[in-house]
Amino acid sequence: MKFLMIFLQVLVLFGFSMVGNWLQNLLHLPLPGSIIGLILVWLCLMLKVFPLRWIESGALFFLSYLPLFYIPAAIGIMNYGQVFIGKGVLLVIIAIFSTFLTMWLSAWTSQWIARQSEKKKGPTPCK
């Protein structure tokens, strides 16, 4: 029964991706259809069109297999070794810098959102 539930949730997520592709082709948007589908899922969740539990297991299924999607890209890089010769150290520095920049920006954004939500709620009473 759990397999069927995950399968149906994956179909719902796939449907959002297909709608995103359709909208991208129809409106000639500069975003990929999959990103448009992801935005549609987010909007439906934010506007409470449907609850998270309707797609949560399917999304967790995708997340559990996400690293497998990076393996072909990493192996494909091996075909372009000549591009990376002599620039390896620079690429490592760029990768480290961009990783820390992403971590810092994510932390700063989450803290900013937390502060904004605290302002809306007001001060918490002392116990």
Is this prediction's pTM over 0.85?
no
CB 64 within 8 A of CB 10: no
Torsion of CA 8, 10, 13, 15, to 10 degrees: -60
pLDDT digits (tens, 9 = 90+) for 114-126: 898 888 876 666 6
CB 54 within 8 A of CB 12: yes
pLDDT (mean) for 34-60: 91
Q: How far apart, in whole angstroms, are the C-alpha atoms of residue 13 and residue 22?
A: 14
* Three-state SS at 57: helix
Q: 19: pLDDT confidence band, cut at 50, 70 and 90?
A: very high
